[in-house]
Copies of this chain bind each other. A is one copy, B any other.
Amino acid sequence: MEKFMNLIEIKVKTTQEAVPAVSNILMEQNAQGIQIDDAKNDGNATVITYFPDDVDIKKIKKDVETQTKKLIDFGLNPGNVEVVISDIEEKSWAHNWEDYYHAERITRYLTIVPAWEDYQSKESDQLIIKLDPGMAFGTGTHPTTKMAMQALEMTLRGGEKLFDVGTGSGVLSIAARKLGANQIEAWDNDPIAVEATKKNFALNPGMNNIKVSVNSLLDGINGKADVIVANMLADVLLPLIPQAVEHLDKGGKFITAGIYADKLEIMLKNLKENGFKINQVTEVDNWRSIIATKGE
């Protein structure tokens, strides 16, 4: 965790329907990762993100408030928007994690174990993913991450070449290697995520020959993969679709997660228009993931 200074947390209380737009507004302010709490499923949602403590947080707060309220002009109801700022000390944050974040079996085979926990496998063939979640990259147990891991388990057979776009904490690259993917290359446009991923690779034996570097989507990347996995919001996934066509052979698989419910249709439409066949759609809460195959 030594990479992190104190962070400032921003919570935007809004409606479920405004979540993708609010996430977008925060990302345009260079927010470091987005968390969404809509577990109550009552129409309300809170979008949470973090900023380093050297930004002008008052200006950001004001901008976010203004822009979120403007959503009503675009036919979206953001509800009674409330933007709450709080300082997070790294120490208390880390402490918090250690209280709440424990080993979790995601599938019959894949189990995520926090770096600080000593976990004993109950079944000898369980695959253990050691993870220091890092501050803004999630615990690996968010629905979208679980669905992406599930999709990898459905898709991989062993020996594949895999691209992991927007790797975050590196959890999907680690899972893919454990499931037998052979050559893996991972990217994130956030240098801090790349650092976190490198640390997580170091926690897991057998990851040392996975490449990870800073890159925006697949811009300027050469070569093709058998499987491309991307767990990101739909707004970021849409421009990735034509790139995925270019970087997959016919029959190659494209796994996307991080799709908020109301973005499913546009994702499916774009995938089909780009020649993908939809194999499977999975829904957990308000999130969707897709497994698609590149056609002719």
Contacts and interface: CB of A to CB of B under 8 A. Distances in A.
Nearest to A111: B157
A109 interface: yes
B122 A157 contact: yes
Interface stretch (A51-59, A205-213, A245-253, A274-282): A274-282
Interface stretch (A29-37, A60-68, A74-82, A148-156): A148-156
Contact of A123 (B122, B158, B281, B284): B158
19 contacts: A105-B157, A107-B154, A108-B153, A108-B154, A108-B156, A108-B158, A108-B179, A108-B180, A109-B109, A122-B159, A123-B157, A123-B158, A123-B180, A125-B125, A150-B154, A153-B153, A280-B283, A280-B284, A282-B282
Contacts of A157: 105, 108, 122-123
Interface of A: 105, 107-109, 122-123, 125, 150, 152-159, 179-180, 279-284
A125 B158 CA distance: 11
A270 to B, nearest CB: 18
A179 B109 CA distance: 9
Contacts of A108: 109, 152-158, 179-180
Nearest to A284: B280
A152 B107 CA distance: 9
What 7 pairs between A and B have smallest CB-CB spacing? A281-B283, A123-B158, A282-B282, A108-B153, A280-B284, A108-B156, A108-B179
Contacts of A279: 284
A283 to B, nearest CB: 4
Contacts of A159: 122
Contacts of A123: 157-158, 180
